[in-house]
Amino acid sequence: MSDPLSASTPLAPLPNTPAIQSALDASHLQLLEIGFYISGVTTALRFIWLLFMAVFFAIIGFSASFAKFQTNNGTSGEPPPAVFFFFFAGFFGVIIFLTLIFAGLEIYAGICLKKRRHPILIQIVAALYCLSIPWGTALGVFTFIVLNRPTVRLLFDNTSLQVPPASSIVRS
């Protein structure tokens, strides 16, 4: 008697019915939506670390401008230029701003996945994800794979064409 799980017996493929494909598409889009939300929240949490760094450099800049530094032989020396520390505080401020914008885009892309709208925006965010290795690259590549399916494209096309209900059309 042969083993049904042996390598010699081929497995029969599942029938590819529209109902099964629709369920797979909905499941994959929901998983991508959850991935976008998680990534958006973790990006927003990076804001706290960057804010800490900006405040740290600003405090050092203020204290460097008011303090007199002692050299090793006991004579007073010149403090480091405060502009140096303010430059880093400003640099981190710009990074904080860009981080918050990207976190908002990530969460908005998750909302767009849920509503099946703006596939171009979702693909732009996915392309930016590909720069973040390894989590972002995986999420970006899977987003491209799922959104390029013809059945998924139809889901996005159908929701972008808003047809008013027949009862709202006034006959002349």
Give CA separation, 36 vs 77, 93, 98, in Å: 52, 24, 17
The answer, yes or no, to whether the previous bond of 80 is cis (omega within 30 of 0) is no
CA distance 136 to 166: 44
Query: Within 10 A of 109 (CB to CB), how many other CB atoms are there?
Result: 27
Domain segments of the chain: what residues? 27-68+78-158
pLDDT digits (tens, 9 = 90+) for 101-135: 999 999 999 999 999 999 999 999 999 989 988 88
Q: Which residue has the higher pLDDT, 25 or 68?
A: 25
Query: Is 55's pLDDT higher than 90?
Result: no
